[in-house]
Structure formats: C-alpha cells, structure tokens
Amino acid sequence: MDEFAFINTIKQASYKQASLIKGVGDDAAVFRQTSQDIVTAVDTFVENIHFSCKTMDPFHIGYRALAANVSDLAAMGAQPAFYLVSIVIPSHWKPQVIQQVVTGMQALAGTYRMDLIGGDTVAGKELSLSITVIGYVPRGKSRYRHAAKADDVVFATGTLGDSRAGLHILTNPGNYNDHEFYVKRHQMPSPRVAFAWNLEGLSRLALNDISDGIANEAAEIAEASEVTIVLDFAKLPVSDAFHQFTAEQQRTWQLFGGEDFELLGTVPKSDWSKVVQAAQETGVKVTKIGYVTERDHDAVYLQDHGHQVPLKKQGYTHLKQVKRR
C-alpha cells in the first residue's frame, strides 16, 4: 500500500468539530477559533522504547499513544479537538497491522469527538508515531505549573502505580489479583479530561499529568512555582489489590512508575470542596496527598513514618535512559 492509498483508508468521511474549515486532503488543515484559547502538544513514541509488541496489541499502541497526548491537554484544562499523526513504518509491519494502530487512535478520538486533520507517512527501520493534539480552553483559563502557592492543598486523581504494575504482570506471567484491571491501566489509560474541564471555575489551579512519576511531576510544579511541595506517602492513593506486590515495588511504582496519566494538582484550601465536587460529578477518585510551603532547600519532600526526607526527581527522563514497554 502506498502513502496516498494509506491516507485514503484513514481519512474521515465526516468531521465533528464545527471550527474545522478544511481537514485532510490539502497541503495543510484549516480551522478557525475566535472565542477560546488554543492549546497544542506533541509527543513521539518509538517501538521498543515507548512500547513493545510483547506487551501490547497494535490497537493498544495507537490508543495509548493518543491517550498520552490527550492527558497533556487535560493537564492544561483543555478540551481535545484535533490530532495529527506522522508514522514511520518499517517494512515488516503489514498494512493491516498499521490499520489496527490507527483504529486504536480512532477509538479514543471518538470518545472526545476529536478529528484527524493531517499527518505524514514515511518508511523507516522501526515503528514510530509522532502525534500532535490541539484543544480549546476558555480564554485565560489554561492551567500552568507555575500557579502553586504556599498553603495550597496538593491532590491526585485516581490511583498511582497501576500502569507499572500492569507492565510487570505482562512481563512476569503468574496469578495476580485484578489482572485485567492492571493490564488495562497500562494499555488503555483514561485521561482525566472531564474532571479538569469541571475545574474551569477555579480562579487558581496548578496541574500536571502523571506521565513520568509523581516525584517528577511534583518537582516540576514546585520548581515552576518556586515553592516546596510536601507529599504524605501514607495518603498516596492505591488500588485495592496493590498490596499483592512487594513493599519495594509498591513504593517505587507509586513514586516513580509513571504512565498512569492521572493528574497532580494544587489549589487553595478554600477551593478544595470544589475539587471534590468536580470529582464526584465526573466519577473520578480524588485524594488530598500533601501541601505546599514556602520554598525550602529542596523542591519536594516525602513525609513517611514521622520523618520528612527530600524526594529526588527520579521519574523517567527520555534523554537519560531507555525504557522498554
């Protein structure tokens, strides 16, 4: 199948976003938006670094790759609208298998009424996906990491460490409680778009999506806001069967596991009840896990068994190590 034939197989027959003027089929897409701010993000996913066919079907590869980008939009408080995909296709990947990758993206895109409006395809040695997402947020309501202030409440959505537990299960066969739950959390994460959108009324809110581990994400907020964040290890939310893993695994996955694509945030104490209400309205678990103080020597501290110790920024960093999924 040549490039143009492939494009024709993934081109949408109709579009969902009213702001789109021209989609796939020209040199570039065109959309018009005058009443909201535009938010965009891009990520690249490479075979045997960000994903592996040993732990994911082609459908899941596409689904999770787009989910990672949509989670970035959620962290900005944005509603997803469009996505573009550039694919490097190796010769050993058959067209019907690539189509399954695209189907995975389309499945998640349909949840948010996102339109595919462009991209590119080239030949290469290993499969690579570069995805650009575009979303909208009410004017002046984008959420930034630099918005945290002393005395804020620190919270997290969902449960932590599940994706890393799912990867462990996939790579270490055995009998596990809630096997399907953990595998799904790894292969098909749920970006917290609706929850973040329901926080629109808050005057001040810092958000970060938990893609590289909560230690890393908390440090990013603390550094951008020039504050210190204290996390209470006993309050970090975990799933019901998480105790089946070793204590060392639990601790490592909660703090540094990443790829849960939950949200970490800070809000003034007076707005905490509104965060709880937003969670209830969207069916999302939310937990108060710490607080913000004036800037100290370290960006993040972990409170554990009556002691506070510096929590180093040890989440995944792309240019320092290779992770295999």
Whether residues 167 and 52 fall in one domain: no
Which CATH number goes with the domain that contains 230? 3.90.650.10
Q: What is the rounded average pLDDT for all residues in the chain? A: 92
Residue 124: CATH number of its domain: 3.30.1330.10
> For residue 3, what pLDDT is reported?
58
Global pTM reads: 0.90
Domain span at residue 214 reads 145-310
The pLDDT score that the predictor gives to residue 4 is 55
Q: Is residue 76 part of a domain?
A: yes
Looking at 123, 138, 153, which one is the last position of a domain?
A: 138
Per-residue model confidence as pLDDT tens digits over 110-163 = 999 999 999 889 999 999 999 999 999 999 999 999 999 999 999 999 999 999
Q: How many domains does the chain have?
A: 2
Whether 319 has a pLDDT exceeding 90, the answer reads no
pLDDT tens by residue, 52-72: 999 999 999 999 999 999 999
Is the pLDDT confidence value at 325 over 80?
no
Considering the domain architecture, whether residues 18 and 132 belong to the same structural domain is answered as: yes
Q: What are the tokens at 278?
A: 């937003």
Are residues 53 and 74 part of one domain? yes
* Last residue in a domain, options 94, 122, 138: 138
